[in-house]
Amino acid sequence: MTDFTAQSILTESYTPEVVFLDDDVISKPDTIAQAGVIPANTVLGRVTASGKLIKSVSTATDGSEKPVAILVSSVDSTAGDVVAPVYVGGTFNVDALVFDASFATDAAKLAAFGDLSTIVLKKPVFSVG
């Protein structure tokens, strides 16, 4: 029989990353423009001239300033455009997404997709018990 004493208890903690705040998400393949390595859960905007997705920057003027999708998994577009799955609908944890620094406040992040988007961002609320 093993004697578990106070010394054998791990003091580290694990906090799971909750990306989805409900079970209904919509994804589809889309073209990510050449831009290097882009991490999963990055907020993307569509460049009006090319129709391709890039990391959304709120100060851009090429159409990409308006987020339209969230990257499902990391991609490497260093060598050129890539087709990758993106989320285009669902309710997401705003704290789990990768935003450009131009979305500097929680309010800016929560409002980024706008009222008419099929992507809804929320701050998670967890209860104990």
- Which sequence spans correspond to the domains of the chain? 18-122
- Residue 106: which H helix or E strand, with range? helix 106-111
| Span 69-95, pLDDT tens digits | 999 999 999 999 999 999 999 999 999
Q: Indicate the range of 15-19, 59-63, 103-107 predicted with least confidence.
A: 15-19
Q: Fill in the DSSP letter of residue 6.
A: G
Q: Please state the pTM of the whole predicted model.
A: 0.83
Q: Which numeric CATH code is attached to 18-122?
A: 2.40.300.10
